[in-house]
Amino acid sequence: MRTNKEVLSKGIKLMAIALFFMFAGPFLLHLGFKLRNFLTIGIAGLFCIAAILLTMKGLHTIIKALFND
């Protein structure tokens, strides 16, 4: 049972993108509440949702690569 390296690298790339969204989302949320800018709050909410979804997809891809599903 070997690890599929192409699928594993795709999963790691997804996790790296999710890491960006994990930091950018709360930062923009704080900035939006501080400036009372509702557009920034909305974009921050989308970033937070994107971070959650990309993390789930990245973990699923990594597990698929490790267990050859």
Q: What is the DSSP letter of 3?
A: -
Domain count of the fold of the chain = 1
The model scores a pTM over 0.85: yes
H or E, element range at 18: helix 5-35
- Convert the pLDDT of each residue in 10-54 to its tens digit: 999 999 999 999 999 999 999 999 999 999 999 999 999 999 999
In three-state secondary structure terms, 68 is coil
Q: What is the pLDDT of residue 69?
A: 62
Segments forming the whole domain that contains residue 53: 5-67
